[in-house]
Structure 1
Amino acid sequence: MKSYLTMLLVLSSFLIHAQSASRTIFTFNTSMGLNSSEKDQLESTYFTMHDDNYHCFEVVSSQEKNAYPYQKQLALAKQRTLAMQNYYQQELGMNTDQVFIKYGGEHPTLWLHKPDAKLTVTGEVQLDDQNKQCFSYASIRNLSITTDHGNRLYFPKMAFETMDGKAVTANDISICLWEFADKKSLIFSNLTTSASGKMLETGGSFYLEASWDGKPLKLRKGVYYTIELPTAAAHPDMFTYYGYEKDGLINWAVDKQEPVIVNGLAPEPQTEEVIELEGEAVVWDAPFAYNEDGFELESEEPFYSLTAGKLGWINCDRFYDVPDKSTLALKVDTKEPVIVRLVFRDIESVMECYSDSNHKNKYVAENIPTGEKVLVLAYSVQDDQAVLGYKEVTIGENSLEQIELAAMTKSRFESAVRELLY
């Protein structure tokens, strides 16, 4: 009874949608089969359909109806609908819910159903050991770090403990970091600047880890370190964001308790903390901003100063929200999966595009600021080989853009990205 009711619901839904379905007459030489132009036309028909819609192909023209007896018309219709169904299923990977032959009426017809698309993020974040920077930390001293890109980090003494909460007093603690100071480094690591799909503008991102004797460490409760990031901008609405892995990407979450200070120092601590070390009480003040001697730092260049109470993924960000937004669809000339990113020319932001479950070659970005100039990058890297396609677009000018890929070595891919992201 249950299966019978389900069939009735499916049939009822089909009949309702069929009444409003788009229709075309599609004919071809059955002895020759589908040529490339005809295949492109079939793909385009499905590609341009809206989600949750039907399309009907009638496969016998009015001229053929006048010229041929009914039995030949019927044979043509069967051959054509079967060939078209095979193309959609075998070459485009569609299932029987998406393409099917309907018998009845004057001739068999081919039907397409485009379900609601499922959007899936592309590209998993990668940390390359070649870009790792490591520093030695003695727990009884404050530590000042200057990174390869000129960012500064300050750790107070006695900052770390084991994962089970035991204080560590070693002189050879290792602090390692990866920094993402520009859009090139974001692309090479597949990192993006978004918080649950909302666009962020970044002042710089990091991944930090600490270890001693090969074992991971964490910050002690209540301990904060400071990061200073030189900047040409001075946005007052920056905050500390922490990153969490979701679907292979890093999703950023704001900490409203940790605003970023522009061109200044983090506040002085209000209290002191007492900790136990091997039976002795050690009092320390954990300053937020200092050099190795504990003195406050001053700088003439503009910089963001943020405090963080966690290791892992750290970002200096702000929401970039505008009222006028657009959706951009991209058609890439491959059925193989690729990573697609939007690199903003005038904003420090890189946004992800999502693969469309209805198409192996369609990618979508939603809620993108209209009028912004972006470089679209579509790429894939496997061992020493890569493919890359790119296009300069203005958001809102076209709802669909075509991207063509070129094969190259991994080395050439990296050089090309550096040239494009000047």
Structure 2
Amino acid sequence: MKKLLFIFLLALCTSEYSVAQLTYQHDVYFENHSSLLSDNNKKTIEQIYKKIPGNATQKINPLGKNEFKGNKFLTEINYTRAWNIMQFLKTIMSSNTSLFVDTFINQNSGTPFYGVLIKKAPIELEPNYSELKKLYRKNKRTFYINPTQNETITGIEGTVITFFANTMQCNDGKDVKGTVEISLTEYYTMADMVKAQLNTVSGPLLLESGGMILIKATCSSCREKEVKIKDGDFYKIAFPTEKIKPGMGLFTGNIDVNKNLIDWQAAEFIEDEIDLFESESTNEEDYILSEDPETGELIEVIRTKEEKQLYHTLNSKSFGWINCDRFIDTPIPSALASTVHSPVKQNHVVLVFNQLKSVLELYPDENGNYSAQNLPYGEKATLFSYSIANGKTYFGKKEITIGIQHSVEIHLEENPFESFQHFLSTL
């Protein structure tokens, strides 16, 4: 019974001095009627300080172990304890920390109670964009085709593209003379999309991707080098897939210079007899180019075709960013807000879904908070943030369910670059 009464009184005392707006609170206990900081007190305070994330506030309550709160003598000791805690903190704190003794009033007795407030501001390191670019390196494949005949090319990751004879011209409308150079970069995995900062959104609406490509066509005979498809003509793109998904369509990418992202717009539908096709089953071996997972170099490997390959096949009349997408049905659209605690000034904040091939990068408002709208309720997802500064990688993540967690805090901590790369490979 005495034990239960003690727990009740302890909870009551804690509630008297709690401050709702503070992010963290911690009690430091002194010997009765003493304001002397013991070695254990100092260790506790140092541990508390080290665990405070950037842009957060911590309150330390100096307490006696079995003292009655409220008389004048103990109020004076309480203030001295708070002052001694603050003086010790000054010997260990960094330049981004501010300290002061604040007064809280006991609601029952009306007597003051003193605590130490520690406010740690973000260190605000400058992000290293050259280091970040290492994440975005993606091998492309280059082809040389004859524009006067039908040509089919196959990308590193299996994209099959067919060009039809006499359907190309220079950007100024003149005929193409000579060989056309085609460069093709493919993005099929979530990791590749995140590294390249690719979104799967069309305006305010979320998309599910069946693969993205960046395709460019040039010819030395053209004044501006660039080549385009003639009006009324098109070329065919077959995106490899494990499963045919209804509703897939072709989207072209428009670059939003303000946010440095691609906004996907549904392309004009082009009628064709074949919407999708399957490759024939064969046991023949062929040689394909693949990326070495360790070096990133292109290597030739043997592939045995034992099963049929499925494709989403779409027609395009332009080059540039091309995406095979469909809109995600959101009968109950949900919102998400996020606060990021990081020592780096600028951070990438990304939302990826467990069951949908969708990537959404969030951007800060004027107050530095991140948000997203029109998200599919009930979908499980990972919200993560990362940055690189001073040769160090900072990373944090939260597993969430859309619509259940409306507000999420992410704390970035220093992590080995290899650990972050491994995380991306698991998406």
TM-score exceeds 0.5: yes
Q: 1:248 aligns with which of 260, 267, 277?
A: 260
What do the CA deviations read for 1:245-281 (whole angstroms, capped 9, x no partner)?
012000000124247965349xxxxxxxxxxxxxxxx
Paired AA for residue 195 in structure 1? S
User: Match of 1:257, SS?
Assistant: coil
User: Aligned residue pairs: how many?
Assistant: 306
1:65-214 equivalences under 5 Å are 130-171=138-179, 173-213=180-220
Q: Which residue of 1 aligns with 2:341?
A: 333
Cα deviation for residue 332 of structure 1 reads 2.4
* Structure 1 residue 230 corresponds to structure 2 residue 240: yes
What letter corresponds to residue 366 of structure 2 in structure 1?
Answer: S
Question: What secondary structure sits across from 1:184 in the alignment?
Answer: helix
Q: Give, as a single letter, the amino acid of the residue that structure 2 aligns with 1:407.
A: E
Q: Which residue of 1 aligns with 2:355?
A: 346
Post-superposition Cα deviations, 1:142-192, rounded to whole Å, max 9, x if no partner, equal 211111111100111233322222111203x21001111121110110101
Residue by residue, what CA displacement relative to the aligned partner does 1:195-244 show, whole Å, maximum 9, x if unpaired? 01210011111111111238222222222110011223323312111110
Letter of the 2:347 counterpart: V
- Structure 1 window deviating more from structure 2 (365-374 vs 126-135): it is 126-135
Aligned partners of 1:351 and 1:205: how far apart in 2?
15
- Equivalent residue number for residue 372 of structure 1: 379
Q: C-alpha root-mean-square deviation of aligned residues, in Å? A: 4.3
Which amino acid counterpart does residue 362 of structure 2 have in structure 1?
C
2:225 alignment counterpart: 215
CA distance in 2, matches of 1:146, 1:385: 38
CA distance in 2, matches of 1:92, 1:358: 17
Q: Normalising to structure 2: TM-score of the pair?
A: 0.60
Going from structure 1 to structure 2, the CA distance change for 1:222 and 1:386 (only over 3 Å counts) comes to farther
CA distance 1:170–1:332, shift in 2 (3 Å): same
- Aligned with 1:313 (options 321, 334, 342): 321
Q: Which amino acid aligns with 2:216?
A: E
Residue type at the aligned position of 1:140 = T
Residue 301 to residue 193, structure 1, CA distance change in 2 (3 Å): same
Distance 1:357 1:387 in 2: 23
Q: TM-score by structure 1 length?
A: 0.61
* Counterpart-to-counterpart distance in 2, 1:25 and 1:184: 38
Give, in whole Å, the separation in 2 of the partners of 1:412 and 1:301. 33
User: Bigger shift: 409-418 or 334-343?
Assistant: 409-418
1:15-30 aligned within 5 A = none
The within-5 A match list for 1:41-60 is none
Counterpart pick for 1:388 among 389, 392, 395: 395
Q: Say whether the 8 Å CA contact 1:126–1:189 is kept in structure 2.
A: no
Q: Report the AA paired with residue 244 of structure 1.
A: N
Query: Matched residue of 2:381: which SS?
Result: strand
2:420 partner SS: helix
Contact 2:140 2:184 in 1 (8 A): yes
Q: Which consecutive unaligned segments of at least 5 residues does structure 1 have?
A: 1-22, 27-34, 46-58, 69-75, 94-123, 266-298
Q: 1:91 to 1:229 in 2, by over 3 A?
A: closer
- Identify if the C-alpha distance between structure 1 residues 401 and 174 changes in structure 2 by more than 3 Å, giving closer, same or farther: same
**What corresponds to 1:20 in structure 2?**
none
5+ residue gaps, structure 2, are 1-18, 23-47, 59-101, 125-131, 279-306
The question of whether the paired residues in 2 share the 8 Å contact of 1:338 and 1:379 is answered with yes
Residues of 2 paired with 1:300 and 1:136: CA distance?
A: 28
Query: Secondary structure at the residue paired with 2:422?
Result: helix
CA distance in 2, matches of 1:25, 1:206: 48
2:354 partner amino acid:
R
Determine what percentage of the aligned residue pairs are the same residue.
27
Contact 1:125 1:250 in 2 (8 A): no
Match of 1:413 in 2: 420
Amino acid paired to 1:204: G
Give the drift of 1:303.
Answer: 1.6
Q: Which residue of 2 aligns with 1:404?
A: 411
